[in-house]
A and B are shown apart, each in its own frame.
Chain A
Amino acid sequence: MNNLSTYLIISALLFSLGLQGILLRRNLIGMLISVELLLNAANLNFMAFNRFLNADPVAGQVIALFVMGLAAAEAAIGLSIILALFRTMHSINIERAQKLRG
């Protein structure tokens, strides 16, 4: 259990599931949830590399903390965008938000 590859594979699995969610979901909140999954997969990678490879064990943890902070910021902004979108379009279906259509 305690080797790098296990963690990396778990992280890849989480990431792929998150991708699947992002690519499939029509619901913006659902996409946001999937993005959280992606971030966590990346975080898991950081922590695993920190545990098994890195010279200074503090660095990886600090980076993980920063990623969490960024994720929180991202969640706040994402959710407010969802609210704004819901107000203007009365829907959060991503397939209807096509104003950028070429």
Chain B
Amino acid sequence: METSGLDIMMQAVFWGMVGLTVAGAWIAVFPRNILYNVLGLALALTGIGALFVCLGSPFIGLMQLLIYVGAVCIAIVFAIMLSRPMHLEVPPWPPSKLAMGVVASTVFFVAAVSLALKTDWTPSPDRVSDTSLWSVEKIGEALLTRYELVFEVISLVLLVAIIGAVITAGFSRRLSP
């Protein structure tokens, strides 16, 4: 495959996004200040949104920004403010726990990577590579026809979650002993 300048730029952008994601994830996990974590999460989610765009689905990328960065991260910031945990600067992790976590996640990482590399991924034979099918209209149509039941179930789940959240957070004073 011939590498043009555009390709090189695209590649640079892609790897830049990958780096952004991984760095954001790193920040979201390791620093002990909770506010840094949230900001790192926002960074990582943005990078993942960019990767979605690279995967050919700008709609999902936008939704990622909207839902995750715009809603979930803001909600987490609110939770931090309400529960004031950031003043309670935690002591460093005990080495044993750190070691265990590292070992477990390394094992998992190795397992997942080897799974990804060893499997012989074959595309579906009747796969359509027509990118016009990736449009928002198609998604909307599918959501309201073929996936309608799932759509309604997920809205029900969201409703239940909201009511549950209100109950748990709002009435827990009354419910708890």
Q: Which residues of A contact B (CB under 8 A)?
A: 1-2, 4-5, 7-21, 23-27, 29-30, 32-34, 36-37, 40, 43-44, 47-48, 50-59, 61-62, 64-66, 68-77, 79-84, 86-88, 91-93
Q: Determine whether the beta carbon of A33 is less than 8 Å from that of B161.
A: no
Q: Determine whether the beta carbon of B29 is less than 8 Å from that of A36.
A: no
Q: Which of chain B's residues have a CB closer than 8 A to the CB of A53?
A: 121-124, 127
Q: Which of chain A's residues have a CB closer than 8 A to the CB of B85?
A: 27, 29, 86, 92
- Distance from A2 Cβ to chain B, minimum over Cβ atoms (Å): 8
Q: Determine whether the beta carbon of A18 is less than 8 Å from that of B29.
A: yes
Q: Which of chain B's residues have a CB closer than 8 A to the CB of A40?
A: 44-45, 48, 68
Q: How many angstroms from the CA of A16 to the CA of B117 in the assembled complex?
A: 16
Q: How many angstroms from the CA of A71 to the CA of B83 in the assembled complex?
A: 21
- Distance from A23 Cβ to chain B, minimum over Cβ atoms (Å): 4
In the complex formed, the residue of A with least CB distance to B61 is A47
Using A57-B134, A84-B169 as known contacts, say yes or no to A62 and B143 having CB atoms under 8 A apart.
yes
Interface of B is mostly: helix
Q: Determine whether the beta carbon of A92 is less than 8 Å from that of B83.
A: yes
Using A73-B161, A79-B75 as known contacts, say yes or no to A20 and B29 having CB atoms under 8 A apart.
yes
Q: Which of chain B's residues have a CB closer than 8 A to the CB of A86?
A: 82-83, 85
Q: Which of chain A's residues have a CB closer than 8 A to the CB of B64?
A: 68
A-B contacts at CB below 8 angstroms, number: 243
Q: Determine whether the beta carbon of A17 is less than 8 Å from that of B139.
A: no
In the complex formed, the residue of A with least CB distance to B52 is A47
Contact for B28 among A34, A69, A79, CB less than 8 A: A34
Using A40-B45, A62-B143 as known contacts, say yes or no to A12 and B55 having CB atoms under 8 A apart.
no
Q: Which of chain B's residues have a CB closer than 8 A to the CB of A36?
A: 41, 45, 68, 72
Q: Which of chain B's residues have a CB closer than 8 A to the CB of A71?
A: 67-68, 72
Nearest 9 pairs of A and B residues by beta carbon:
A73-B161, A80-B169, A84-B172, A8-B116, A12-B112, A23-B101, A21-B29, A80-B165, A16-B109
Q: Determine whether the beta carbon of A57 is less than 8 Å from that of B22.
A: no
Q: Which of chain A's residues have a CB closer than 8 A to the CB of B80?
A: 29
> Among B60, B98, B108, B126, which residue has the most Cβ atoms of chain A within 10 A?
B60
Contact for B21 among A10, A26, A52, A80, CB less than 8 A: A10
Using A57-B134, A72-B71, A72-B72 as known contacts, say yes or no to A88 and B172 having CB atoms under 8 A apart.
yes
Q: Which of chain A's residues have a CB closer than 8 A to the CB of B57?
A: 47, 50-51, 61, 64
